[in-house]
């Protein structure tokens, strides 16, 4: 999906919501466990319930890798079921030497039809570049994350900058706003103004709204651009809004509540 197509989706739906499919068999409604593929049955119902209120789905691959071969089959069925009308994110946090990253890119952009993949930039430019060679595909590079461990490296001084600032400044030159996004955690809202100054045109994928306590209002006020420039992810707050047979209905209500609020902040 190109940037212009993504922006059109955002303004057509008046939403910049990403629904995170962090599907855990220990958390899905018990009545689904008798299904041939419980995780896919859950995902399918969530997608059907939320697709009108979001522009994107983020599949955290760890939850599927943990199920072995069957989990990979579920992952592939899920991304193909989403289709091409929504921006799809493989939250895989890959990044390795160039020839290995090339294979990761083939896995998620050729064997699987994802629009984007999250990437760790620690190994440098050659570990990120292979993900930027596909027209209409995106690398979403870790910028400033919302976990406590961000203090260990990302928030440490690096010359006259913090390390995450140096990463954003450097990585932004490896691609363009047409194929490169950054992960910026919602719980780091105080940093959004500064980050937007460093990367004025790039989209940000923002996890941490909802269960982690990030403020949608603060993020939108501090980081939104004229073409939005934000994909705000909600996972547990949407997909686990209920553990009963009404789980899809409650997920739809939660997604709609987010998109209704987002419509207020959009230009």
Q: Which residues are catalytic?
A: 93
- Which residues are within 8 A (CB) of 110 and not within 5 positions of it... i.e. 6 or more apart? none
Pairing between β-strand 203-206 and β-strand 180-184 as defined by DSSP bridges:
parallel
Kindly state the DSSP code that residue 187 receives in the 8-state scheme: G
Distance CA 95, CA 142 (A): 11
**Centroid of chain to Cα 88:** 8
SS3 of 183, please?
Answer: strand
> Is the CB of residue 206 less than 8 Å from the CB of residue 244?
no
Kindly state the DSSP code that residue 137 receives in the 8-state scheme: -
Evaluated on CA atoms 260, 223, 7, 5, the torsion sign reads: negative
| DSSP letters spanning 152-173 | TTTTSEETTEEHHHHHHHHHTT
> Is the CB of residue 184 less than 8 Å from the CB of residue 192?
yes
Distance CA 167, CA 224 (A): 21
SS3 of 256, please?
Answer: helix
Distance CA 201, CA 211 (A): 28
Residue located via tokens 């010359």? 159
Q: Is 120 exposed, middle or buried (0-12, 13-18, 19+ CB in 10 A)?
A: middle
């Amino acid at each position: 999906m190109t940037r212009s197509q993504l922006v059109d989706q955002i303004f057509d739906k008046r939403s910049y919501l990403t629904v995170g499919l962090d599907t855990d068999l220990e958390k899905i409604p018990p009545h689904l466990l008798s299904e041939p593929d419980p995780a896919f049955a859950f995902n399918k119902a969530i997608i059907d319930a939320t697709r009108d209120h979001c522009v994107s789905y983020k599949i955290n691959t760890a939850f599927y890798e943990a199920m072995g071969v069957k989990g990979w089959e579920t992952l592939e069925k899920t991304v193909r079921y989403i289709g091409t009308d929504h921006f799809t994110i493989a939250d895989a946090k890959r990044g390795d030497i160039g020839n290995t990253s090339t294979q990761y890119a083939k896995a998620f952009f050729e064997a699987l039809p994802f629009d984007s993949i999250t990437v760790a930039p620690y190994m440098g430019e050659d570990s990120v570049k292979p993900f930027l060679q596909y027209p209409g595909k995106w690398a979403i590079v870790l910028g400033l994350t919302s976990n406590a461990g961000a203090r260990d490296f990302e928030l440490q001084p690096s010359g006259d900058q913090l390390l995450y600032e140096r990463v954003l400044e450097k990585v932004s030159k490896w691609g363009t706003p047409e194929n490169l996004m950054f992960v910026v955690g919602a719980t780091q809202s105080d940093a959004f103004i500064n980050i937007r100054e460093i990367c004025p045109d790039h989209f940000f994928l923002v996890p941490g709204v909802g269960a982690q306590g990030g403020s949608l209002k603060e993020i939108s006020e501090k980081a939104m651009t004229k073409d939005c420039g934000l994909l705000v992810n909600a996972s547990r707050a949407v997909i686990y809004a209920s553990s009963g047979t009404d789980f899809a209905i409650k997920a739809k209500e939660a997604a709609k509540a987010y998109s209704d609020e987002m419509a207020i902040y959009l230009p």
